[in-house]
Structure 1
Amino acid sequence: MDVTIIGTCHGSHMCFVLSAKPLRKFRSVTGQTALRYIATIGRHATRHRQLHCRPTHTIKTTVSATCLCILLPEQAMRFFPPSIALGACVAFAASCFGIAGGKEPAETIAAPFSGHTLFDGESLHGWNLENQCKASARHGELLLEEGNGWLRSDLIYTDFSMHLEWKALKEHHYDAGIYIRTPAGGSPFPTHGYQINLLEGKEGNIGTLKGAMSTGLVKPGQWNIFDITAVGSRVTLLINGQQAYDVDGLTTAAGHIGFQIEVPMGGQFLIRNVRIHELSHQSLLNGRDMTGWEGADRDASACWRVHEGVLECDGRDGPWLRSLLEYEDFNLRLEYSLDEGGNSGIFIRVPRDGTHHRAQPSEPPAGFEVQLLDDRAKQYDALKDFQYGASIYDICGARQKVGRAAGAWNSLEINCIGNHITTTHNGIRVVDVTPESHPAISLRKTKGFLGLQNHKTTVRVRAIRIGPPLPDQHN
């Protein structure tokens, strides 16, 4: 069937497809399916901004004899330029009406896509080794080196698209795996979650998920490309640009990403170019300037700047940095680096004036602070427990001090559901506060601004993003 595109209305949430013939056959699809087609187009748009639409949004379709109108979620249209929105429209129309030679976008060659790098090519930053195993970074590649266990991500992921490349170093009988939506723990391997196999002859298959299997798509002895998308209960895998499967049935909403290390039996593996789009989260830093932030009552440029994608406070006299918007329940993620002796903090749900201390109901409303500190510095040897890194200041100290050495990057996640607050520092949950365990948290606001503290020392922050709160999981 020939189809003519008559235009897109960027910002008005609509794309139009005009058919030269009456549309007699229409295969209905869910909004979630349509989102996957848009996400697929987005993965090939390497220079465009990340898709930030939730899978629960509904995409409504109206069909007449000659026109299909696709009503797209506001966020998807806001973050894609017209050309990409147009591509999404074509892809969706092709899936509904069998056009474009009968091929769906998932069957095209997978191009690299921009996203958050999960492996920096130089270190295991962002990862934790579980059990008796070893992995290392060499020449831009991740070597699954020895032992039995797994390498898991610091963070938990819900909906995502991930690109990676892998190569088995053993010629035959090789075996490893890629974990998605998997809880921490297990000995030597996780007992729950989902494993995408790297076992010879079953590469890409998920043994516990019906229909998640394919054959003949890998290149033995060579680098292979996996593009994995998990949205809601569905998972899609492309192997070397060819669709392996697109199936429903995931029952775990969130979990870690990881790599199985099974060297004694399965041999060594190399992994590279691991990148992820967190479809559930939206960036709070554009990497160019401080759009979305402002100095509290003073010009932010007095001590803050964005340099090479990193937000920096040089410690000079100046304001704390306040978000333009207020937030309620959320999951906040970021990476930070401190100089030796560094001290700073993340303000959560604070009023406009930044108040983050409150001991009595009679005192003014306040949010709270999650502490950033160079825990290893000598001058901080005798602090109170709640003054160390990732603690909730005045309320709860971190269970463990897991901050890295001065100058290194740390990951921090703050999850807020009402007054249930958790912090996860370099992949370890170190704070879990509820009104029952720490009544003082009940005195703090449940909606307010975010902030970055200027404590007269240098702090660098990057990869700041926010999304809906995660379901409860324990590390």
Structure 2
Amino acid sequence: MKVPLLICLFFFAQSGSAAQNGFQPLFNGRDLNGWVGVGGAAINWKVEKGILSCTGQKGAQWIATKKQYANFDLRLEFNIPKNGNSGVFIRAPKEGAAWVEGMEIQVLDDRGDKWKNLKPAQFTGSIYAVQAPEKRVTKKAGEWQTMRIRCAGSKCNVWINDVQVVNGDLVKLAQTHNQAGLKRRSGFIGLQNHASPVYYRNIQIKVLK
């Protein structure tokens, strides 16, 4: 009886610690409750063993949270296969291109041959097509990696694998980039279907005042 009890106590302590830090699950690990398909039905998104995956086939262009978020600290893990492509939308509306009308934090197999000619602001961790990651710290395709996105007012910071790669000032960026989403201060959080498989887990959010 000791081992099961210790395991229960461990998970209780972990969940209690997360709650103490103000983080709440954005994905429950069981189904798509709290999410909705955009641009089609979410038939191409599956949940199994705590992992949220996209097949890359036809269906929803992306899935969005049912709630909108303005200032937040978002943490998740992602796994992208060889030559895979996805993204995390933030402060996005459901109308128009989410990466333009909102913002996209890129998720990519940075080492994929398919992407060797991309511009710096198109690699993992970038504010897509706006600000490139300061460092390239991604792991090989098929490995689990961490992403953290913190948005507060006009500041947007991104970490990949615990290394800060973007320190974004949206006011300054909006002066040099004609992208409406840089001026948005609230919207939906979303996960992109970009015609390739992708896997997400442990998606948590902390709402900032």
TM-score bucket of the superposed structures, by smaller chain: 0.7 to 0.9
Deviation at 1:279, TM superposition (A): 3.3
2:25 corresponds to: 283
Q: How far apart in 1 are the matches of 2:190 and 2:64?
A: 4
1:455 corresponds to: 194
| Residues 385 and 310 of structure 1, relative CA distance in 2, 3 Å threshold | same
Query: What is the RMSD computed on CA atoms of the aligned residues?
Result: 2.4
1:310 corresponds to: 51
Is 1:444 paired with 2:183? yes
Shifted more, 375-384 versus 451-460: the winner is 375-384
Tell me the SS of whatever aligns to 1:382.
Answer: coil
2:72 corresponds to: 330
Partners of 2:154 and 2:171 within 8 A in 1: no
Is 1:348 paired with 2:90? yes
Deviation at 1:285, TM superposition (A): 1.0
Is 1:423 paired with 2:165? no
Partners of 1:115 and 1:277 within 8 A in 2: no
CA deviations 1:188-229 (Å, max 9, x no partner) are xxxxxxxxxxxxxxxxxxxxxxxxxxxxxxxxxxxxxxxxxx
Structure showing the higher helix proportion among its residues: 2
Q: TM-score, normalised by structure 1?
A: 0.40
Q: How far apart in 2 are the matches of 1:353 and 1:436?
A: 23
Deviation at 1:277, TM superposition (A): 5.6
Task: Kindly provide the amino acid, as one letter, of the partner of residue 456 in structure 1.
Answer: A
1:17-416 map, 5 Å: 111-114=9-12, 161=17, 279-300=21-42, 302-319=43-60, 320-353=62-95, 355-358=97-100, 366-416=101-151
Q: How far apart in 1 are the matches of 2:200 and 2:167?
A: 23
Q: How far apart in 1 are the matches of 2:199 and 2:94?
A: 23
Q: How far apart in 2 are the matches of 1:354 and 1:116?
A: 39
Deviation at 1:431, TM superposition (A): 0.4
Larger relative contact order (CA 8 Å, sep ≥ 6) = 2
CA deviations 1:351-400 (Å, max 9, x no partner) are 12253354xxxxxxx11100000001122112111100010012100011
Task: Kindly provide the amino acid, as one letter, of the partner of residue 332 in structure 1.
Answer: L
Q: How far apart in 2 are the matches of 1:429 and 1:385?
A: 16
Q: How far apart in 1 are the matches of 2:194 and 2:83?
A: 11
Partners of 1:368 and 1:392 within 8 A in 2: yes
Unaligned runs of at least 5 residues, structure 2 = none
Tell me the SS of whatever aligns to 1:112.
Answer: helix
CA deviations 1:216-273 (Å, max 9, x no partner) are xxxxxxxxxxxxxxxxxxxxxxxxxxxxxxxxxxxxxxxxxxxxxxxxxxxxxxxxxx
CA deviations 1:75-116 (Å, max 9, x no partner) are xxxxxxxxxxxxxxxxxxxxxxxxxxxxxxxxxxxx333465
CA deviations 1:108-134 (Å, max 9, x no partner) are xxx3334659xxxxxxxxxxxxxxxxx
Aligned residues: 200
Task: Kindly provide the amino acid, as one letter, of the partner of residue 405 in structure 1.
Answer: K
Deviation at 1:413, TM superposition (A): 0.4
Q: How far apart in 2 are the matches of 1:116 and 1:458?
A: 30
Q: How far apart in 2 are the matches of 1:436 and 1:298?
A: 33
Deviation at 1:449, TM superposition (A): 0.7
Deviation at 1:331, TM superposition (A): 0.4
| Residues 299 and 435 of structure 1, relative CA distance in 2, 3 Å threshold | closer
Partners of 1:368 and 1:444 within 8 A in 2: no
Q: Percent identity?
A: 35
Q: How far apart in 1 are the matches of 2:143 and 2:13?
A: 21
